[in-house]
Amino acid sequence: MQDLDWPSIAERFKRLYTPAVNDVLDGHGLRHQFAHHSIKPLDATQMVAGPAFTIVGMSNSTMDLSARIGPRVIDSFVPHVVAAYDTMGNEDTGVWGELWSNGASKRGCVGAVVDGGIRDTAFIRRAKFPIFQKFTCPGDAVGRFNIVDFNCGVNIGNVRVNPGDYIFGDEDGIVFIPAALTLDVLEAAEEVSRKEDRIRDAIDGKRSLADLYTEFGKF
């Protein structure tokens, strides 16, 4: 992960909105950088923004606690990251719960995107830990699911995500920015936002929509 001022970068992203960022990614020819709409925020008022800390697991019926690396994963979180959790299609487990949220938060993780299920939902809400997920489920991971790797390439909502890629999510969805393009995309998205503000002002001023389309090339 690059040594950048991640809190300031996150604040700048959170003044934006995912459609503006996705428009910039489209302009780079990266047209498949947003997660499938089945992954939704637990609280639509919260955003996530930060470099990806990736995790992948799969359905597994083992009851052998010595084979479980979840605690080591939690201990490996670093400040400012967003967990990106690939469950490889598991549909019967709450892979992320209250203890994961607490442990991740204490190590500086600022949110999670789980392509799968969560549990302890009321506790996560009360803790105000930002999380995006597909479903809630009471099923514990032991005997159903096991992590197999972390800090590796994963698939989240049909998007390939690598460690350090930038994650930005709001109520419209989640976009994934290749790590090397993070600052370029941020600056371009800020310009898109300024342009759209000018369009809104012009519409409020009763300008013709046809004229605005000619001037700005979009709405």
The SS3 assignment for 73 reads helix
Closest CA to 94 of 120, 70, 71, 74: 120
Largest CA distance in the chain: 68
pTM: 0.92
pLDDT tens per residue, range 118-153: 999 999 999 999 999 999 999 999 999 999 999 999
The percent of the chain in helix, strand and coil, each rounded to the nearest 5, is 35, 25, 40
What is the pLDDT at residue 216?
A: 66
pLDDT tens per residue, range 176-217: 999 999 999 999 999 999 887 777 777 766 677 677 667 666
Q: State how far the alpha carbon of 115 is from the alpha carbons of 19, 23, 26, in Å.
A: 21, 23, 23
For residues 16 and 189, the answer to whether their CB atoms sit within 8 Å is yes
Average pLDDT of the chain, as a whole number: 93
